[in-house]
């Protein structure tokens, strides 16, 4: 059984579902919680995912403890009445940790996709850092995307035999979707295609950045747009009203800023391929953008994805307004600096992560053998 509830989880699990359905050794059951309903449904439609079970836990203004308890309570009868051989969860959402706990309580092996990411700070990102550490303690199989993630697990006394390095399945999903050239539903975005204008793609939603920090980010983006009239800033808004309250008032009247509703993943992937620079506090974008040769500036003080920082494709700029403006300006106007970030090696995947995931699960269940671990191209 595969369990997920948010758009990022769905994107990263979709290639695994496709690969599992091509096997003759395993039956696949998909359960969604609906933690992010509208955005989740978009991705399920894009990848042709038809859930077998939908817990439909979403409530207006839902708090974290409610997501946790409703997910465990919803999964419990499914796991009791028709227990799967294993439960696969992805990443560090509250859905994934709740599903792992529910399976553990039923003594069902937990497979953790994207295991071993660590920021080193339990409060940042919150609650993701705690979620993934908890899941690591109860997982039977740890599917680490990189050698750094594997080492983090080894440092926590996880047995080497229980870890496989697969690469990140988001690269599998991205490469598939980019090839399809999905049209934009927003005519303002379609007008950018072939316009010659440079695009700064911005995404922000992190809980630890909400409030004063996010308002500072909005001011920084406004200053960048004012200083760079030939630049178009595109910012797909998160559904969270707290994020919108910080962003929209500061940017809605700026002529070269386009605020959009959340984009379907196919549209987002196309926009990412068109962007010159990416400014984000998202984890997934740090993995996706380097695959397309896009420099990424991260509005956080730390990252659980240090591989791209080491490779030179990602730079941490923090949440300070002035630092954000200076970093974006430097990247836009320093061709040598830009080229060094745009041509660095992507350490996250080669498009075959899902194959390695399936092989590792087959070995866990005694019906196959693992593939060699993923290693980035030099």
Question: Which residues are identified as catalytic?
Answer: 92, 114, 128, 205, 207, 238
CA distance 173 to 296: 19
CA distance 330 to 335: 9
Helix, strand, or coil (residue 259): strand
* Helix locations, the chain, DSSP H: 7-21, 37-47, 64-81, 94-105, 128-138, 147-155, 169-178, 187-190, 212-227, 241-251, 265-274, 283-291, 306-311, 321-333, 335-342, 353-364
Query: Are the C-beta atoms of residues 157 and 133 closer than 8 Å to each other?
Result: no
Omega before residue 283 within 30° of 0, cis: no
Sign of CA dihedral 285, 347, 343, 293: negative
In sequence order, the 6+-apart residues with CB closer than 8 A to the CB of 157 are none
Residue 79: how many CA atoms within 13 Å on its side-chain side? 27
Sign of CA dihedral 46, 103, 161, 306: positive
Query: Are the C-beta atoms of residues 176 and 161 closer than 8 Å to each other?
Result: no
């Amino acid at each position: 059984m595969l369990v997920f509830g948010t758009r990022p989880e769905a994107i990263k699990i979709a290639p695994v579902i496709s690969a599992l359905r091509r096997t003759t050794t395993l039956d696949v059951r998909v359960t969604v919680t609906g933690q992010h309903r509208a955005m989740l449904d978009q991705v399920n439609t894009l990848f042709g995912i038809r859930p077998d079970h939908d817990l439909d836990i979403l409530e207006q203004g839902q708090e974290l403890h409610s997501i946790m308890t409703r997910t465990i309570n919803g999964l419990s009868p499914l796991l009791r009445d028709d227990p799967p051989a294993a439960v696969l969860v992805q990443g560090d959402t509250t859905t994934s940790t709740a599903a792992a706990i529910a399976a553990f309580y039923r003594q069902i092996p937990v497979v953790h996709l994207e295991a071993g990411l660590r920021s080193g700070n339990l409060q940042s990102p919150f609650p993701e850092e705690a979620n993934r550490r908890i899941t690591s303690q109860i997982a039977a199989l740890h599917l680490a995307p990189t050698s750094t993630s594997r080492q983090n697990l080894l440092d926590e006394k996880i047995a080497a035999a229980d870890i496989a390095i697969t690469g990140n399945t988001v690269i599998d999903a991205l490469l598939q979707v980019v090839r399809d050239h999905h049209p934009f539903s927003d005519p303002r975005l379609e007008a950018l295609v072939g316009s010659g204008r440079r695009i700064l793609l911005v995404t922000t939603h992190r809980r630890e950045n909400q409030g004063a920090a996010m308002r500072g980010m909005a001011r920084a983006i406004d200053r960048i747009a004012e200083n760079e009239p030939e630049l178009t800033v595109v910012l797909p808004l998160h559904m969270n009203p707290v994020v919108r309250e910080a962003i929209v008032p500061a940017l809605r009247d700026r002529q070269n800023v386009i605020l959009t509703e959340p984009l379907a993943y196919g549209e987002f992937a196309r926009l990412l391929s068109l962007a010159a620079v990416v400014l984000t506090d998202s984890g997934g974008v740090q993995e996706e953008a380097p695959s397309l040769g896009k420099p990424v500036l991260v509005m956080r003080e730390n990252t659980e994805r240090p591989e791209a920082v080491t490779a030179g494709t990602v730079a941490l700029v923090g949440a300070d307004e002035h630092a954000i403006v200076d970093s974006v300006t430097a990247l836009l106007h320093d061709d040598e600096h830009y080229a060094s970030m745009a041509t660095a090696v992507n350490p996250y995947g080669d498009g075959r992560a899902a194959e390695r995931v399936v092989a590792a699960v087959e070995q866990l269940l005694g019906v196959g053998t693992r593939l060699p671990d993923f290693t980035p191209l030099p």
